[in-house]
Amino acid sequence: MDLNRFTQIDETTWRIEPRGAMRVPAIIYADAGLVQAMDAKVEEQITNVACLPGIVEAAYAMPDAHWGYGFPIGGVAAFDAAAGGVISAGGVGFDISCGVRTLHTGLQYSDVAPHAEALAEALFYRIPAGLGSTGHIHLTGSEMDAMLAGGARWALQRGWGREADLERIEEGGCMAGADPAAVSDHAKKRQQNEMGTLGSGNHYLEVQRVTTIYDATIAAAFGLAVDDVVISIHCGSRGLGHQIGTEFLRRMAIAAPQYGIDLPDRELACAPIDSPVGQDYLGAMRAGINCALANRQIITHLTRAAVADILPAADLSLLYDVSHNTCKLETHEIDGQPRELYVHRKGATRAWGPGHPGLPEALHPVGQPVIIGGSMGTCSYLLCGTSESERLAFSSACHGAGRAMSRRQATRQWHGRQLVDELRARGIIIRSPTLRGVAEEAPGAYKDVTAVVDAADTAGLARKVARVEPMVCVKG
């Protein structure tokens, strides 16, 4: 994008003043290089978001922003129901509550490295991955509804997990206000056999080595030290979330004109939060969040079993589970007054700062872990929420590197077998059901995750805590 189209506020803040139908400014958090590398659709989409009714303060784009459906991926916006605010399925995304959870192993690199090959095989065998992947769990109608209402707590009641896990998951593992009745039978059918599966695309399960500590105090609170080995799981709500998004985008496109909403882009189909469609979507979307939380909880149980077979001394306690692709009702201070807002985060992570009442007691002094995933052959990062982020973007931060090219372009430039061999030569073991999927997720198809994280750190959205490097990666 052309930097001359923006007003530069500081090194990592770029502002677009309201123009045309925009109700608020649009703000991009990124350094000059990242802004220039963004496709022009990011500007178009974030300014369109700024046109929606009831939007508060500004429409925001995170440092990893790129083109998406409706909102840009990396888009954040908050709406006030009392001021006619809307909810948009395109502001949440199709993979509802896609997210990342990171587990400690209690082991160091020297303990794990000799067993990396066996660990890769065990994880690949235990955790189904790939397009259309199914597991051994089949949910009946009543169990499906119980899962959609209960999230990770439901999984725990079925023996998949530990009680201590819940305090390290957003919403305590269960999103309140879920309405299984608002989820279609077709969406439920798609999910019947997909619980405990990674899925495809950029989803992964990765064994990682901590290589750098940036903030020793926060790292100690997170329980991290150099050469520790952790495991990160990245997945979401699978077919159920996609179906919810597809169905409600259609319903919202029909509903918007009935409420006098002039859409700047059909992909931004929305409805008033307090409307029947808006309330139905909230109930279904919250059920989708619970589906994702339950899915990651089951995969955690399967991971613990696989690791125990190879490394019986490991103790896979949960560091934290963070979601992106959500809309949540939160209280934020606007002009010195608390207001309840519906915060859309699409490809963005909540990043509470120190002292937030929603944090576990052990994390109160430092803030919320923010997990920024890399791309199979690159590093990932653990960051921490800041007090400043509340003022900057409703306590939000980026969620990953962000794609630099389409999957089709990636398959033209890279071959899966070649990538697997190249990564093995660097000490990274890849397991995937499809070599095409490996090519689609080539590290070179993504932006520089370090540049994205540095921009988030400089802007004050989140603080760098630790860098981790992949040892084993199971790709979807």
Residues labelled as active-site residues: 399
Q: Which two tokens stand for residue 214?
A: 């940036």
Helix 141-157 / helix 276-310 crossing angle, nearest 10 deg: 50
What are 323's strand-pairing partners? 99
State the Cα–Cα distance between residues 245 and 248, nearest whole angstrom. 5
Backbone CA torsion sign across 160, 163, 168, 171: positive
- Which is nearest to 371 in space by CA: 352, 349, 389, 346? 349
Q: Which two tokens stand for residue 312?
A: 């019986």
How far is the CA of 463 from the CAs of 40, 75, 179, 218, 353, in angstroms?
28, 19, 36, 9, 10
Chain Cα centroid distance, residue 78: 17
Q: Which two tokens stand for residue 437?
A: 């999927």
Radius of gyration of the chain (CA): 21
CB of 30 closer than 8 Å to CB of 65: yes
State the Cα–Cα distance between residues 452 and 74, nearest whole angstrom. 11
DSSP annotation of 135? -
- Which is nearest to 294 in space by CA: 175, 410, 379, 380? 175
